[in-house]
Amino acid sequence: MLERKQRKDRTEVTFVLPADVPPGPVSVVGDFNDWDPHAHPLVPRRDDARAVTVALPPKTSHSFRYLAAGDYWFNEDSADGQDGPNSRLHT
């Protein structure tokens, strides 16, 4: 799930997944972090989910995917679209 907050000079996008699906560590990787799996790991929240927030410029478009343990790549069901094998996000 994607949560968005519009700020004056940026859009804060929070990437949210269930706490245990898939099991193990998960990161969001995309063109906004040079596809670095260490840049944005999801962390536990109090609501039985895990999440990470990324600040992005307004009115931009980004490709991203999730990377889980075991080199398991997957997409976001609630993304704005697909870009080849990647999810697509518009701020």
pTM: 0.94
Please give the Cα distance from 78 to 88 (Å, whole number): 10
* Mean pLDDT by groups of 10 residues along the chain of 91 residues: 95 96 95 97 95 96 96 95 94 93
∠ at Cα 60 (74, 45), nearest 5°?
A: 50
2, 77 in Cβ contact below 8 A? Answer: no
CA dist., res. 73 & res. 11, Å (int): 25
CA distance 39 to 30: 10
CA distance 26 to 68: 4
Give all domains of the chain, ordered by start, each with its CATH number: 2-78 (2.60.40.10)
